[in-house]
Amino acid sequence: MKHVAAILSLALCATAASCTQLPTQPTVGVGPNPQLPPPDRSLIPVVDIAPAAGWPQGRTPKAAAGLKVVAFATGLSHPRWVHVLPNGDVLVAESSAPPRPESAKKGGLREWVMGKVMARAGSQVPSADRITLLRDTDGDGVAETRSVFLSNLRSPFGMALVVDQFYVANADALWRFPYKEGQDQIAAAGTKVVDLPAGRNHHWTKNVLPSRDGSRLYVTVGSNSNVAENGMQEEEGRAAIWEVDAASGKHRLFATGLRNPNGLDWNPDDGRLWTVVNERDELGNDLVPDYLTSVQDGAFYGWPYSYYGQHVDTRVEPQRPELVAKAVVPDYALGSHVAPLGMVFVPRPEPAARSAASQANAPRALPTESWPAQYARGAFIGNHGSWNRKPPSGYQVVFVPFDNGKPNGTPIDVLSGFVSEDGKAMGRPVGVAIDARGALLVADDVGNTIWRISPGR
């Protein structure tokens, strides 16, 4: 009955500003060595949603000093992810959650409440299930043409190109399609590379990143729950990054215990894989920090048994102390509930003798426009924004500076102003990518816009 009361209270609070807990600053628990408070498991969890509103005519997010922002494309349908082809064409996955299976619809009051919460946040809209191609023909930073590049997909998200093979990570499978440079539509039938965990699909977004030689593909698979409340049988193969053989589809778990990883990129300084991860909820305003981390082959990052190393989550039963003992501490805390989704490193010069597969990936040339020096090394991150924190956190694009291959310093706000003065979400950033001329592209799924950030005023 205690849990039922909490859920009912959550439902009543979903339309209010918030319910419990004293407000704290969004900067708490940020950096390479965050200070973590004790868990706060109040009866009524915090719900503080910035309801989706969209952008008023003529209004844009605010770019940092020395940068300018323009709308690269508007009028899209819930754009979630961005991929830049070698010829400069920009692909956008217009996507939302797939229909839930009947078994998941019977998940009870808690899932019903969460559905209402997500709808208010603008996350439950019909999925266009397509990838759209945007082309800036005159180089002015605004797309003049658009076409349907691929359709009839199933909640597509991540995209990758390896030579003449285009990969799409749907909610339930990784697919491959033939591609020729410059084509504005793929009409050929695709080939399924491997099935991906779907089912209840609490976290449906799947991303894909090829290895430098194109022989392997790294695929993110989020958990099916907050802290395994549906049982670990629902989590098989989930909360992990898969390594998939591109030719055969054979796969293994490359890293585990990552509640909901999304953004993936190779650190240009040392070639290591990095990701951003959405951590668990309902432990308070300042737990648990979402994070940016390098991904070690075979490593376990704690979920669901512990967080940020060996901090045990007592809600999970039975416990696995042998796993907690080896849980890897993430490299960098981004703050609690900021919901990092997109992540991309600042490009560096590529070696002259690259493989054909590496050359066919997204453009990696140095920017042709000069960014301020503070953005020379590091990663841009799209923080989608909180729904269960007061005051809200996220709703911004940040830059995390790196030094000697590691995050160093505090995040820099690159793009902000997504929440209006009256607390409504005009937009929410998701995927980020570097375009062919070195500008930053940001997918805004509530604002239905792709923003382009470049040096200037």
Per-residue pLDDT of 105-146, as tens digits, reads 555 555 555 555 555 555 568 999 999 999 999 999 999 999
> So what's the pLDDT on residue 29?
85
Q: Residues 6 or more apart from 253 whose CB is under 8 A from it?
A: 237, 240, 241, 242, 243
Of 145-149, 169-173, 369-373, 422-426, least confident by mean pLDDT is 369-373
Tell whether domain 50-97+127-455 is in CATH 3.40.1440.60.
no
Per-residue pLDDT of 205-261, as tens digits, reads 999 999 999 999 999 999 999 999 999 999 999 999 999 999 999 999 999 999 999
Phi, psi for 323 (deg, rounded to 5): -80, -40
Q: What is the mean pLDDT of residues 326-334?
A: 98
CB contact at 8 A, 280 and 226: yes
A 10 A CB-CB count for 52 gives 20
The more confident residue out of 28 and 72 is 72
Q: What percent of the chain has pLDDT over 90?
A: 77
> So what's the pLDDT on residue 45?
73
Q: Looking at the DSSP assignment, which residues form a beta bridge with residue 150?
A: 131
CB contact at 8 A, 110 and 200: no
Q: What is the mean pLDDT of residues 149-160?
A: 98
pLDDT band at 354 (very low <50, low <70, confident <90, very high): very low
For residue 316, CA distances in Å to 22, 210, 279, 363, 406 come to 26, 34, 15, 43, 32
Q: Where are the domains of the chain?
A: 50-97+127-455
pLDDT band at 9 (very low <50, low <70, confident <90, very high): very low
> So what's the pLDDT on residue 99?
85
Q: Residues 6 or more apart from 145 whose CB is under 8 A from it?
A: 134, 135, 137
CB contact at 8 A, 431 and 82: yes
> So what's the pLDDT on residue 369?
62
Q: What is the mean pLDDT of residues 393-399?
A: 97
Find the length of the chain.
457
Residue 103 has pLDDT above 80, yes or no: no
Residue 42 has pLDDT above 90, yes or no: no
Q: If we measure between CA atoms, which residue out of 110, 333, 341 comes closest to residue 226? A: 110
